[in-house]
Amino acid sequence: MRILGIETSCDETGVALVDERDGLLAHSVYSQASLHADYGGVVPELASRDHIRKTLPLIHQIMSDSATGPQDITGVAYTAGPGLMGALLVGASIARSLAWAWRIPALGVHHMEGHLVAPMLEDHAPEPPFVALLISGGHTLLVKVPAYGRYELLGESLDDAVGEAFDKTAKLLGLEYPGGPLLAELATKGQPDRFQFPRPMTNRPGLDFSFSGLKTFVANTVSKQAKDPQTRADIALAFEQAVIDTLTIKCRRALDHTGLNTLVVAGGVSANQQLRIALRKMADDLNAEVFYPRPIFCTDNGAMIAYAGLLRLMTGQADDLSIQAKPRWSLMDLPQISPK
């Protein structure tokens, strides 16, 4: 099979072609970040309008880059949720209509399943069973994955997602949206140990997270301190360290509880270099292995959606002619992937 993948759930238009035998053939991501930066966050109406402009030209581009004609494509996968309703509808409508015109199956994919399978696009791919830490702008999930398509919730954020906490903290420090990568950059100039921030919910049992208190702690610190560049960098580092420690403690606990020795980390925040270093060290201590997507496939992209669609379309799973868009949709509600 050869699958066209389309991602439009938030502020990235991502498209890709993934082949069952030859792997990733072509992909392209257009980020709307600069469009939303003036507003300090994603403006849903602007996001939808931009997806409308960009999606078909990007599909045309990857098809010509990989010398793929419509007759070579055997299925279309698109992000059906969770995400912004208007943005989802753009990708879903285009995907469903192309599949109808080309007389091939279409499938609405869960965005977080896309993130979860992104490390499978690498040469050295993880094999279930494993524990997955999914950390994006909208979600923080720790799940046990006995097989692709079977997800057991171990823990989740009770309030802000990790990426959201990075973005809000970055805003407090005067950085542009999306601030996560900019905060990480600023933290490289910070001096360690000047500020100590809490590691929320780590000193009691359980695998849930809470990041909104940490953000408030930063807000209070920012308001009391001078706003010189060094202080801002020191605060950025203390925040990043608190988040990394918290995630590392919970991942270690999840591996201990499940008795598994493979950890998969995906979603936008998994691009964070210091987090990768800390999780790798923790995994080494436990004799466990940790897998990440390459940085471009940590954040939203079409390749992960094409791949997640391929896994399901290969087993004969497909949607009817209705256009699927579910702004809220639990990963735990997905049907299993059963071999054909």
Q: Which of 201, 165, 197 is nearest to 184 (CA)?
A: 165
Q: Give min distance, CB of 295 to ligand KG4, in A.
A: 8
Specify which residues 147 forms β-bridges with: 150
Alpha-carbon distance of 48 to 87, in angstroms, equals 4
Q: How far is CA 235 from CA 165, 199, 218, 338, in A?
A: 14, 15, 7, 48
- Interaction partner, residue 107 (Zn ion, ligand KG4, none; CB < 5-8 Å by kind): none
Nearer to ligand KG4 by Cβ, of 149 and 178: the residue is: 178
Stretch that binds ligand KG4, among 39-47, 133-141, 229-237, 331-339 (CB under 6 A): 133-141
Does residue number 114 form part of the binding site for ligand KG4 (CB under 6 A)?
Answer: no
Q: Give min distance, CB of 166 to Zn ion, in A.
A: 14
Which positions lie near Zn ion, rule CB under 5 A?
136, 300
Alpha-carbon distance of 8 to 161, in angstroms, equals 20
Residue with tokens 């279309």: 76
**Binding to ligand KG4, residues 276-315 (CB under 6 A):** 299-300
- Interaction partner, residue 293 (Zn ion, ligand KG4, none; CB < 5-8 Å by kind): none
Give the tokens for residue 88.
């989802």
For residue 200, is the peptide bond before it cis, meaning its omega torsion is within 30 degrees of 0? no
Q: Give min distance, CB of 118 to ligand KG4, in A.
A: 10
Does residue number 91 form part of the binding site for ligand KG4 (CB under 6 A)?
Answer: no
Q: Give min distance, CB of 299 to Zn ion, in A.
A: 7
Stretch that binds ligand KG4, among 21-29, 50-58, 136-144, 223-231 (CB under 6 A): 136-144
Residue 116: exposure state from Cβ atoms within 10 A (0-12, 13-18, ≥19): buried
Alpha-carbon distance of 146 to 136, in angstroms, equals 22
Using an 8 Å Cβ cutoff, are 93 and 10 in contact?
no
Does residue number 113 form part of the binding site for ligand KG4 (CB under 6 A)?
Answer: no
**Cβ neighbours of residue 30 under 8 Å, at least 6 residues apart?**
12, 13, 14, 54, 58
Nearer to ligand KG4 by Cβ, of 184 and 254: the residue is: 184
Q: Give min distance, CB of 100 to ligand KG4, in A.
A: 28
Binding mask 7-26 for ligand KG4 (x = CB under 6 A): ---x----------------
Q: How far is CA 48 from CA 55, 111, 114, 163, in A?
A: 11, 17, 20, 21
For 127, the 3-state DSSP assignment is: coil
Give the tokens for residue 308.
């997640």
Binding mask 169-208 for ligand KG4 (x = CB under 6 A): ---------x-xx--x------------------------
Nearer to ligand KG4 by Cβ, of 5 and 163: the residue is: 163
Interface residues toward ligand KG4, by CB under 6 A: 10, 136-138, 163, 166-167, 178, 180-181, 184, 267-269, 271-272, 299-300
